[in-house]
Amino acid sequence: MNKSHYLQSHWRFHSIGALFFLMGVAVFVQLVRIQLSPQADVFRKQGDLYAGTWRTVYPPRGQIYDRWGNLLAGNKIVYQIGVELNHVTDPEGIAFAMMAVLDEDYENMLAIASQEPSPTAVFAVLTDFVPPEKVLQLQQLAQQVGQPDDANPSIRSLEGLVYIPHLQRSYPERDLAANVLGFVSMEGRGYFGVEEKYNQLLAGAPEEVWVPQDPYQVATITDIPPGASLILTIDREIQSMVEEILDQAVEENGAEAGTIAIMDPNNGEILAMATTPRLDLNEYWKYSQIIEGSTPFNPAVSKAYEPGSVFKIFTMAAALDAGAVEPDTPFLDTGQIEIGGAIIRNWNGGAWGPQDMVTCLQYSLNVCLAWVAQQLGPKDFYAYMLDFGFGHTTGVDIAGEVTGRLKTPGDPDWYPADLGTNSFGQGVSVTPTQMLMAASALANEGRMMTPHILRALVDNGTQYETPPQLSKVVLSAETARTITLMLARSLENEASAALVPGYRLAGKTGTAEIPTPYGYTSSATNASFVGWGPVDDPQFIVYVWFEKPTSSPWGSEVAAPVFRDVVERLVMYLNIPPDNPQSASLGR
Residues 247 and 137 in one domain: no
β-sheet bridge partners, residue 472: 448
Query: Is 127 among the domain residues?
Result: yes
Residues 151 and 267 in one domain: no
- Domain harbouring 381, CATH code: 3.40.710.10
* DSSP symbol at 411: B
Residue ending a domain, choose from 145, 170, 195: 170
Residues 166 and 307 in one domain: no
Number of domain units in the chain: 2
β-sheet bridge partners, residue 531: 507, 542
Query: Is 426 among the domain residues?
Result: yes
Residue ending a domain, choose from 147, 170, 193: 170
pLDDT digits (tens, 9 = 90+) for 187-208: 889 999 999 999 999 988 877 7
Residues 509 and 400 in one domain: yes
Given this model, what pLDDT does residue 548 score? Answer: 93
Residue ending a domain, choose from 119, 152, 170: 170
Given this model, what pLDDT does residue 121 score? Answer: 77
Query: Is 38 among the domain residues?
Result: no
Per cent of the chain over pLDDT 90 is: 63
Query: Is 244 among the domain residues?
Result: yes
Residues 487 and 395 in one domain: yes
- Indicate the burial class of 101 (C-beta count within 10 angstroms; 0-12, 13-18, 19 or more): middle
Given this model, what pLDDT does residue 373 score? Answer: 96
Q: Which of 464, 303, 315, 284 is nearest to 381 (CA)?
A: 315
Average pLDDT of span 332-343: 93
* 424, 425, 428, 429: CA torsion to nearest 10: 170
Query: Is 223 among the domain residues?
Result: no
Give yes or no for a contact between 430 and 420, defined as CB atoms under 8 angstroms apart: no
Average pLDDT of span 222-239: 90
pLDDT digits (tens, 9 = 90+) for 284-319: 998 888 888 888 999 999 999 999 999 999 999 999
- Helices 366-376, 378-387: crossing angle, 10 deg rounding: 100
pLDDT digits (tens, 9 = 90+) for 68-112: 999 999 999 899 899 888 888 888 888 888 998 999 999 999 999
β-sheet bridge partners, residue 269: 452
Residue 503 CA: distances (Å) to CA of 384, 473, 579: 30, 27, 5
Q: How many CB atoms lie within 10 A of CB 103?
A: 8
- Domain harbouring 125, CATH code: 3.30.70
Residues 124 and 250 in one domain: no
Q: Average pLDDT, whole number, for the chain?
A: 87
pLDDT digits (tens, 9 = 90+) for 427-484: 999 999 999 999 999 999 999 999 999 999 999 889 999 999 999 999 999 999 999 9
Query: Is 496 among the domain residues?
Result: yes
Residues 562 and 436 in one domain: yes
pLDDT category of residue 423 using cuts at 50, 70 and 90: very high
* Helix residue spans in 425-524 (DSSP H): 432-443, 477-493
Higher pLDDT pick, 504 / 40:
504
Residue 42 CA: distances (Å) to CA of 46, 53, 176, 209: 6, 12, 49, 14
Residues 263 and 369 in one domain: yes
Average pLDDT of span 480-503: 93
Residues 161 and 241 in one domain: no
Please determine, for residue 4, whether its predicted confidence score (pLDDT) is greater than 60: no
Give yes or no for a contact between 508 and 529, defined as CB atoms under 8 angstroms apart: yes
pLDDT digits (tens, 9 = 90+) for 168-190: 899 999 999 999 999 999 888 99
pLDDT category of residue 24 using cuts at 50, 70 and 90: low
Per 3-state DSSP, what percentage of the chain is helix, strand, and coil (rounded to 5)? 40, 25, 35
The dihedrals phi and psi of 15, each to the nearest 5 degrees, come to: -65, -45
Query: Is 61 among the domain residues?
Result: no
CA 328, CA 227: separation in Å to the nearest integer?
58
Residues 242 and 135 in one domain: no
Give yes or no for a contact between 271 and 263, defined as CB atoms under 8 angstroms apart: yes
Residues 147 and 290 in one domain: no
Please determine, for residue 583, whether its predicted confidence score (pLDDT) is greater than 60: no
Given this model, what pLDDT does residue 187 score? Answer: 85
- Give the HSE-up count for residue 458: Cα atoms under 13 Å, Cβ half-sphere: 14
Residues 421 and 561 in one domain: yes
β-sheet bridge partners, residue 231: 65, 456
Domain span at 146: 75-170
pLDDT category of residue 117 using cuts at 50, 70 and 90: confident
Q: pTM of the prediction?
A: 0.83
- Indicate the burial class of 80 (C-beta count within 10 angstroms; 0-12, 13-18, 19 or more): middle
Query: Is 24 among the domain residues?
Result: no
